[in-house]
Structure 1
């Protein structure tokens, strides 16, 4: 797995990894709106046989059974936490994006989506993959036991033990129970954006990154799937060149997509609706609680009222590791403000992210 990240400003001796390795960098993105727009309305189509086909597309993992009872208690206040990962595990089409041909599962994008009580707003916390964490001992879905590791990169949890170990690691350092798990692959991300008709974004500066096949002039663009994938995985074209800058682009893209998905008109065409639902169910992996179209439909239906203005997106409070500018250290006191707020189902306070590393790409991309 590619493990490099660009150095933070002013870190002595830090440098980028070789460009050839950066081609294997992987970034995925899960957007709840895809499911809300593509599956929810299918319930009114009356085409029962489609449910069987779509159910057959879905893949789920029984995380509750693997992790057992040694987990944080649920909040009990009507809120829900969803761990959202991007990966290259489901589709052979991922190979053209620079990896996935060696049989290694990778997940380099992670977001904790906290759906507040009433499902009218959500807080999203992005976890940089290069963050050093204490990974707990865990068991994967095949029953293999993996030892604990101190100071491991966060994304090593998924590559070591898959979804179950990723969930256990997140629960360990946040103290929050993950009620659900959703994962999408890169090829699926590209196809879904195309089927949604593209996504309009505005860039305030030119973005050029040959590694991500991205060449955008400053201005407003309707990105197709390939361009969108390039945008959410680029590092070298924006900010300080770090993974934190890329996270800021991902967050801006999510807001742009959620903000316009209701206006795309996908519900006017039964074929377009079915194609979207078919692609979504083929490319997502869920926990067993969402492992049927009916369950996924009910969950997504509860999210359809959340618009871009109802999303509060932050990055886990971190700082560059002075011993290695390619790694990030959690600012524990600030991170605790984030986790405590979510546990109480309250907004994340602004003080939690003041003075933290950002990646310096926050204003480069926005919705038009």
Structure 2
């Protein structure tokens, strides 16, 4: 055993290794004869102990351990960065709780799995928006009002509500620093002035009986920043466009509109086309069609850099309902990624000029109901049939309403419906997102130009 002990410490005491086998059960201790076995050191097999693994295996294990540690650290860092980014986006958001502001019993029921989002383009002049004129402008009104109906069948209907529409405005509770109001008959854009975005939602729901799932309240600056985040929007301009009030100055041909140019394009009204709001809505829809086509064709949703810039601008410059979270936004965005531009259709609420004021419009209630039913039933507009013969109550020619500031509450007078010759055709006309302004027109032909340069 001395040799074993010596070998254990690296100093062999003898070239021989002696051991005594343990007696078997059938052998007596007295009859057992020791046997001596010798083995040279060179012939001894190398058998590493479990406590002392070979250098190569030990090195491989060390590499695997450190790799695991580094990957774990990288994962934690990425998760931490992603969480911090998520929190920063959430901190940007301004949200309103529709559930608390609008009693459920006063709202239309939710039907089906489609999503209805109301987009409210504000003409407020607070902050950076003062650069767009009207520094003495008080409050805000909806300069643009659009309802997007996103169907699970990969179809989208976008309905524009003319800002000059005369409608029944519901009573709205106070919002922010504005005062609440009783219901009255007036311009649809006044709802934002009286009660903020919740009042606009209440107004649209009461007029259409369509449940609004979400809203997005957008300022001039917000619109500009979102367009710039996308790198501009390319569209064809059929004729040169120049408008002093909106600072629009665009030459004819294919142009890439940056945020400032796009904002001027969708705001321009008085010096372009017929000078009315309906012509401006046509241009807005053409722009939005080009925007939608570009986003879907260029796979914006799959571009991390563009999505980052877009999310930054959306969360920083918009106000939404509390249920329109970042997760919900991304879910809607990925749903839209499967929609073809030809399946995005734009409509304007059918209307005709008010008999007493050509600068105001009143809705063709029969056609408007057909359009609203298509959204409620999530079906193509052309498949909806509405019974005719329903009387239409309208205001009297003596009623006077200012274009920007809401009038005092007053009862809604009645007047016979306009003559049939003033009514538009029976069909509800729409255009899809693939419509080319240089082919389909924008109502901007030279014969329509009010103020040529």
- TM-score > 0.5 by shorter chain: yes
Change (3 A) 1:180 1:272: closer
Q: Which residue of 2 aligns with 1:207?
A: 241
Corresponding residue to 1:321 among 337, 354, 361: 354
Aligned residues: 319
| CA–CA separation in structure 1 for the residues paired with 2:116 and 2:369 | 16
User: Which range moved further: 225-234 or 271-280?
Assistant: 271-280
Displacement of 1:203 after TM fit?
A: 1.6
1:234 aligns with 2:268: yes
- Please name the residue that 1:354 is paired with: 425
Equivalent residues of 2:279, 2:443 under 8 A apart: no
Alignment of 1:83-162 (within 5 A): 83-89=118-124, 92-99=127-134, 102=137, 104-118=139-153, 120-141=154-175, 145-150=180-185, 152-162=186-196
Any idea what the Cα deviations from partners look like across 1:63-114, whole Å, max 9, x if unmatched?
Answer: 1211112334334221122111111459622111124664522321001111
| Alignment check: 8 A CA contact 1:184 1:284 kept | yes
CA distance in 1, matches of 2:358, 2:427: 15
Check whether the contact 2:175–2:194 (CA below 8 A) recurs between aligned residues: no
Structure 2 SS opposite 1:289: coil
Provide closer, same or farther for how the CA distance between residues 320 and 357 of structure 1 changes in structure 2, counting only shifts above 3 A: farther
Once the two structures are superposed, what CA deviation does each residue of 1:275-296 show, in whole Å capped at 9, x if it has no partner?
3321111011111111x32232
Whether the 8 Å CA contact 2:125–2:132 is kept in 1: the answer is no
1:304 equivalenced with 2:337 (yes/no):
yes
* Deviation of 1:266 (Å): 5.5
Deviation at 1:268, TM superposition (A): 7.8
Q: Name the counterpart of 1:193.
A: 227
Change (3 A) 1:75 1:216: same
* Equivalent position of 1:334 in the other structure: 367
CA contact (8 A) 1:62 1:141 kept: no
Aligned-residue offset at 1:356: 8.9
Moved more, 100-109 or 57-66: 100-109
Aligned partners of 1:344, 1:48: CA distance in 2, in Å?
A: 39
Q: How many angstroms apart in 2 are the aligned matches of 1:206 and 1:185?
A: 27
Flag the 1:53–1:72 CA change in 2: closer, same or farther, 3 A: same
Pair 121,208 (structure 1): closer, same or farther in 2 beyond 3 Å:
same
Following TM superposition, by how much is the alpha carbon of 1:216 offset from its aligned partner in structure 2, in angstroms? 2.1
Measured in 2, the distance between the counterparts of 1:308 and 1:355 equals: 26
Q: TM-score of the superposition, structure 2-length normalised?
A: 0.64
Whose relative contact order is higher, 1 or 2, with alpha carbons under 8 Å and at least 6 apart? 1
Gaps spanning 5+ residues in structure 2: where?
1-77, 387-423, 430-436, 445-453
Instruction: Determine if contact 1:66/1:140 at 8 Å carries over to the other structure.
Output: no
2:419 paired residue number: none
Equivalent residues in 2 for 1:170-319 (5 A)? Answer: 170-264=204-298, 272-290=306-324, 292-319=325-352
Q: Does 1:69 align with 2:104?
A: yes
CA RMSD of aligned residues (A): 2.9
Give me the whole-angstrom Cα distance separating, in 1, the residues matched to 2:352 and 2:192.
22
**In structure 1, what is the Cα distance between the partners aligned to 2:117 and 2:338?**
17
CA distance in 2, matches of 1:48, 1:328: 49
TM-score, normalized by length of structure 1?
0.78
Residue 442 (structure 2) aligns with: 364
**SS of corresponding position for 1:197:** coil
Which structure has more strand as a fraction of its residues? 1
CA distance in 2, matches of 1:355, 1:45: 58
CA distance in 2, matches of 1:63, 1:93: 27
Cα distance change of structure 1 residues 284 and 305 upon mapping to structure 2, 3 Å threshold:
farther
Q: Which moved more, 1:297-306 or 1:43-52?
A: 43-52
Q: Is the 8 A contact 2:301 2:333 kept in 1?
A: no
- What's the CA shift string for 1:337-361, capped at 9, x where partnerless? 1111211111122999736999xx9
- Secondary structure at the residue paired with 2:269? coil
Instruction: Find the residue that maps to 2:339 and give its secondary structure.
Output: coil
Q: Which has the larger radius of gyration?
A: 2
Task: Look up the match of 1:4.
Answer: none
